């Protein structure tokens, strides 16, 4: 049997797949922003054509984003009627943060036994930088880096994947800027760092869970201020 001739070169489909994924994520991010900013309240129908036009994309990635958001419980799709903002209850928001806290707490528990001295020093430095940050966007980025370092310290691909999924459902910019809330969050961070540095698994887990539970209550209060349930 003779060797088959190679097929003519075809465009790499991986770039197309990557581009489609980016467009889907962009659409999902914008929908989340509109929902949690109060622009789109529960029961509001999503105008897919208008959204696609505004984002400069076709309707396909918008539809894919809505399917993904339906899986998160943010969107409800009704056959022959379209996609609507789900009737999220206050407990839905609190439950989301509770789940995020439970898995983050487990990650912190494991991180307390796995983080190197250099990683602990980096974590402490992040906490210090947050304490002196005077820009909300910078504070949010530092906060992301702080929790990401702890999550990676769990040395568990599965935990990191679940945390990425849960945290991804919280839109960018969804950060309570009230001085008392910021101060409370910064105190939590410092206590978590101390627990991790003292290699106290149970304390690290408890403090982390409490941190996210309080975050859930603040999220509900913030949505109420924005008229989400009005």
Task: Summarize pLDDT for 129-155 with one digit per residue, the tens.
Answer: 999 998 888 999 999 999 999 999 999
- Span 12-18, average pLDDT: 59
Q: Three-class SS string for 194-222? A: HHHHCCCHHHHHHHHHHHHHHHHHHHHHH
Task: Summarize pLDDT for 59-84 with one digit per residue, the tens.
Answer: 999 999 999 999 989 999 999 999 99
Alpha carbon distance 107, 86 (integer Å): 30
Q: What are phi and psi of 186, to 5 degrees?
A: -65, -35
> Is the pLDDT assigned to residue 205 strictly greater than 80?
yes
Number of H helices, E strands in the chain: 9, 2
Closest CA to 66 of 54, 75, 79: 75
Percent of the chain exceeding pLDDT 90 equals: 72
Task: Summarize pLDDT for 149-171 with one digit per residue, the tens.
Answer: 999 999 999 999 999 989 988 88
DSSP 33: H
Judge whether 101 and 209 are in contact, CB under 8 Å: yes
Task: Summarize pLDDT for 102-115 with one digit per residue, the tens.
Answer: 999 999 999 999 99
What is the pLDDT of the chain when averaged over all its residues? 90
Judge whether 40 and 85 are in contact, CB under 8 Å: yes
> Is the pLDDT assigned to residue 8 strictly greater than 80?
no
Judge whether 216 and 93 are in contact, CB under 8 Å: yes
Could you tell me how many residues make up the chain?
Answer: 230
Token duo for residue 26: 């962009």
Band (13; pLDDT cuts 50, 70, 90): low
Judge whether 66 and 77 are in contact, CB under 8 Å: yes
Q: Give me the pLDDT at residue 194, please.
A: 98
The DSSP-derived string for 36-48 is HTTSS-TTPBP-H
> Is the pLDDT assigned to residue 187 strictly greater than 80?
yes
- H helix intervals, 1-114: 13-36, 48-55, 59-71, 90-114
């Amino acid at each position: 049997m003779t060797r088959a001739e190679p097929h003519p070169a075809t465009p790499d489909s991986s770039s197309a797949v990557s581009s489609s994924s980016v467009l889907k994520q962009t659409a999902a991010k914008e929908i989340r922003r509109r929902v949690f900013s109060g622009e789109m309240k529960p029961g509001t129908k999503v105008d897919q054509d208008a959204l696609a036009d505004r984002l400069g994309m076709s309707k396909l990635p918008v539809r894919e984003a809505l399917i993904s958001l339906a899986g998160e419980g943010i969107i409800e799709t009704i056959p022959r009627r379209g996609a609507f903002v789900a009737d999220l209850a206050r407990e839905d928001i609190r439950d989301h943060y509770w789940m995020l806290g439970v898995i983050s707490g487990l990650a912190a528990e494991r991180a307390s036994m796995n983080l190197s001295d250099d990683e602990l020093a980096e974590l402490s430095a992040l906490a210090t930088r947050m304490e002196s940050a005077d820009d909300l966007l910078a504070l949010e980025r530092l906060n992301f880096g702080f929790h990401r370092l702890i999550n990676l310290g769990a040395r568990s691909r599965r935990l990191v994947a679940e945390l990425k999924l849960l945290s991804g459902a919280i839109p960018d910019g969804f950060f309570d800027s009230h001085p008392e809330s910021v101060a409370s969050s910064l105190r939590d961070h410092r206590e978590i760092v101390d627990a991790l540095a003292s290699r106290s698994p149970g304390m690290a887990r408890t403090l982390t869970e409490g941190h996210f539970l309080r975050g859930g209550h603040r999220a509900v209060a913030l949505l109420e201020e924005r008229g989400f349930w009005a």
